[in-house]
């Protein structure tokens, strides 16, 4: 990507966000945008992106109107209870610089992505060279593509492309493994052949978390902000490494027992259903159940 191309893309993303926010603000002030077309919107954007702005704004307004109705119902309920409290819905404002391009208006050709931008007041297709792996090229070449989102990741501009994929089929042959996640014991596997195995040391993990938490408190009192960040990063690296090792052991056990399917417990509300205490309360709310589940999933695949 050249410097000129980057400037054009950044200008497009900025104009896109400003246009969406402007449309949402108009709708919140009583102007109907339900029948808006590109002719009704003044934006320095190609018509394809202006159309996408209108669709995004309508979606945001729909959610905002629902939030307003919910707030009104809550206020009526509070008034009946004699409580002098008012609940209000907040108008959403997009802050992250980005833009969306639907699948009819961009094209992936080898290492290049083509999509429209405005150049000197006229719509022009920009062909940007990207960094794509061979697997990504294969996926994009053989899949039905959806919307593309262009966004900043750090100091890089990244294109995120939605695509359709066929769900893998799973055989019913072989054993089935169930995996439960927890704090005292990070993971327990139950296999249909009757074997049970415990993984990791929850007490050791909690001790490390308490240790680093105490270090951060001392450094915060001394106002050593950089040291606090270093300690926090070190703790995260250690815990991530532990999750890698645990997930590896789980999958190795599955292979050794001819397991064909691994079933993970649902993680929704896991923190509210896990027994809490003064000692493990902090650990519980900083425990990455989801990350360990993700590691098990991708290693199994």
Q: Give tens-digit pLDDT for 112-124.
A: 899 999 888 888 9
CA dist., res. 178 & res. 184, Å (int): 18
pLDDT digits (tens, 9 = 90+) for 117-157: 988 888 899 898 888 888 888 888 888 889 999 988 878 88
**Residue indicated by tokens 């899949």:** 143
Count of Cβ atoms closer than 10 Å to residue 280 Cβ: 19
Q: Comparing C-alpha atoms, which of 98, 83, 71 is closest to residue 10?
A: 98
Domains of the chain plus CATH, in order, are: 3-163 (no CATH), 175-300 (3.30.420)
Kindly give, in sequence order, each residue whose CB lies less than 8 Å from that of residue 15, ignoring residues fewer than 6 positions away. Answer: 43, 44, 45, 118
3-state secondary structure of 173: coil
Q: What is the pTM of this model?
A: 0.58
For residue 268, what pLDDT band results from cuts at 50, 70 and 90?
low
Mean pLDDT of 66-86: 87
């Amino acid at each position: 990507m050249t410097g000129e191309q980057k400037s054009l893309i950044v200008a497009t993303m900025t104009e896109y966000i400003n246009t969406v926010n402007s449309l949402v603000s108009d709708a919140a002030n009583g102007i109907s945008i339900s029948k808006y077309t590109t002719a009704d919107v003044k934006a320095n954007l190609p018509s394809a992106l202006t159309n996408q702005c209108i669709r995004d704004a309508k979606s945001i307004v729909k959610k905002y109107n629902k939030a307003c109705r919910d707030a009104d119902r809550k206020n009526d309920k509070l008034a009946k209870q004699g409580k002098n409290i008012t609940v209000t819905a907040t108008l959403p404002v997009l802050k992250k610089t980005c833009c969306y391009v639907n699948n009819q208006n961009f094209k992936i050709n080898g290492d290049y992505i083509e999509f429209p931008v405005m150049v000197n007041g006229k719509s022009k297709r920009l062909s940007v060279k990207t960094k794509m792996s061979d697997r990504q090229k294969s996926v994009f070449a053989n899949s039905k593509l959806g919307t593309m989102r262009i966004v900043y990741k750090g100091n890089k501009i990244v294109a995120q492309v939605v695509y359709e994929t066929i769900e893998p089929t799973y055989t019913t042959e072989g054993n089935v493994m169930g995996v439960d996640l927890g704090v005292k014991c990070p993971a327990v596997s139950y296999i249909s052949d009757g074997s049970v195995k415990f993984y990791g040391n929850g007490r050791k993990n909690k001790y490390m978390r308490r240790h680093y938490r105490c270090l951060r408190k001392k450094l915060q009192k001394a106002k050593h902000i950089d040291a606090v960040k270093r300690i926090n990063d070190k703790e995260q690296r250690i815990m991530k490494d532990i999750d890698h090792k645990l997930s590896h052991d789980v999958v190795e056990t599955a292979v050794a027992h001819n397991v064909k399917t691994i079933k993970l417990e649902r993680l929704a509300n896991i923190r509210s259903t896990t027994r809490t205490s003064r000692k493990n309360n902090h650990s519980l709310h900083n425990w990455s159940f989801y990350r360990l589940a993700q590691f098990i999933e991708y290693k199994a695949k």
